């Protein structure tokens, strides 16, 4: 019998694996969630939980992953440790709002082991870096202090109060609302340490970054997506990177394009086009943008980043860092 599991690469955490549910998980899923202490905290889970619902729900989660509408995953031990299922974590996409809703539960016998923040934080960071969303929402019953603490711990902000229908409780219940954006889920940003003369008004150091608009024979522009774990993860940008001490912007670009994309570029093929000047919280960014139509080698994502060749009129459809946005209109009009 062929494997019907969608092509979704499991997400590893420090101790666990977040993987698509399998048909053979149904009995264990039913046993773990058919517990009043678990079910009473979940809006969409009835109690008692009929056994057939486990089979139906698992089948629906596989369809949703294939469609990209939701990602409901098992929290499990690695296969090398037996692969035991500990709970579930999931995201439901709200495409019209470029948002997703986060939910999770952990079997009662595994409470107090830090499983929920490890799993929920991992999925949230993956989602903001890899899905076309800008924020993630969540909620917790007002009397569920443990769940509220998990959300705050992984970077969610309080966003007020509301009410949700809970199948297990037979009606509406008061909840605390939470929200997290890209900045909330990003790792702390250490400011650069340039020479003292590079300081600007207000004490912010200047960070010099060189970027390039690579233009292919079809007049498309290459964008790269910032990967999970980096500040502004999930946003699309022009390839490039920091200018190191002793480098010119051109030399930095030649090095970065070789390291990140595996292509060889000469200074003669880099044409200065425009620059961005933007103040971030920890530093002020100065970014010259070059254009390049000629290089040697095949563009390859050597650092696992997503790449997209985009027609000029579609550049504005891609969410980009604030510093890159003003450059988009200039480049679109030029091309």
161 and 32, same structural domain? Answer: yes
For tokens 């960070």, name the residue.
207
- Of 185, 217, 251, which one is at a domain's C-terminal end? 185
pTM attached to this predicted model: 0.83
Q: Is the pLDDT of residue 195 over 60?
A: no
Average pLDDT, the chain: 91
Mean pLDDT of 149-166: 96
Phi-psi region at 155: left, alpha or beta (left = phi > 0; alpha = psi -120 to 50):
left
Per-residue model confidence as pLDDT tens digits over 89-102:
999 999 778 999 99
Are 160 and 207 in a shared domain?
no
Q: Is the same domain home to 229 and 300?
A: yes
Is 206 in the same domain as 128? no
Last-in-domain residue among 143, 162, 185: 185
Q: Is the Cα torsion angle 229, 231, 237, 242 positive or negative in sign?
A: negative
Same domain, 214 and 135: no
Binned at pLDDT 50, 70 and 90, residue 1 comes out as: very low
Q: What is the domain count for the chain?
A: 2
Model confidence at 191: pLDDT above 70: no
Domain-embedded: residue 123: yes
Antiparallel, parallel or unpaired: β 171-181 and 99-106: unpaired
Check which CATH number belongs to the domain holding 229 and give it. Answer: 3.90.79.10
Give the pLDDT of residue 197. Answer: 44
* In a shared domain, residues 211 and 147: no
How confident is the model over 60-115, as pLDDT tens digits? 999 999 999 999 999 999 999 999 999 999 999 997 789 999 999 999 999 999 99
- Are residue 135 and residue 174 in the same domain, yes or no? yes
**pLDDT exceeds cutoff 90 at 304:** no
Q: Which residues constitute the domain of residue 26?
A: 11-185
Instruction: Give Cβ neighbours of residue 145 (< 8 Å, ≥ 6 apart).
Output: none
């Amino acid at each position: 019998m062929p494997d019907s599991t969608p092509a979704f690469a499991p997400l590893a955490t420090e101790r666990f694996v977040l993987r698509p549910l399998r048909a053979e998980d149904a009995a264990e899923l039913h046993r773990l969630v058919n517990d009043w202490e678990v079910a009473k905290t979940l809006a969409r889970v009835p109690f008692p939980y009929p056994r057939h619902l486990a089979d139906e729900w698992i089948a629906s989660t596989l369809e949703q992953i294939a469609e990209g509408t939701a990602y409901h995953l098992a929290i499990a031990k690695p296969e090398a440790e037996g692969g035991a299922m500990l709970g579930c974590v999931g995201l439901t996409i709200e495409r019209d709002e470029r948002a997703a809703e986060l939910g999770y539960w952990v079997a009662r016998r595994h409470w107090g082991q830090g499983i929920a923040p490890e799993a929920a934080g991992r999925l949230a960071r993956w989602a903001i870096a890899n899905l076309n969303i800008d924020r993630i929402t969540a909620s917790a019953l007002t009397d569920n202090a443990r769940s509220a603490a998990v959300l705050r711990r992984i970077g969610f902000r309080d966003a007020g109060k509301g009410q949700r229908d809970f199948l297990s409780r037979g009606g509406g219940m008061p909840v605390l609302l939470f929200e997290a954006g890209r900045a909330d889920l990003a790792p702390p940003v250490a400011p650069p340490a340039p020479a003292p003369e590079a300081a600007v008004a207000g004490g912010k150091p200047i960070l010099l970054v060189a970027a390039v608009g690579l233009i292919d024979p079809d007049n498309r522009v290459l964008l790269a997506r910032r990967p999970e774990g980096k500040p502004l993860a999930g946003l699309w940008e022009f390839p490039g990177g920091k200018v190191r001490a002793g480098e010119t912007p051109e030399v930095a670009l030649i090095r970065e394009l070789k390291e990140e994309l595996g292509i060889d570029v000469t200074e003669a093929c880099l044409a200065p086009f425009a620059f961005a000047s933007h103040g971030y919280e920890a530093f002020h960014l100065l970014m010259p943008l070059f254009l390049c139509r000629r290089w040697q080698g095949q563009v390859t994502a050597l650092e696992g980043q997503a790449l997209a060749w985009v027609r000029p009129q579609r550049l504005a459809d891609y969410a980009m860092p604030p510093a890159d946005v003003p450059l988009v209109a200039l480049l679109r009009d030029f091309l």
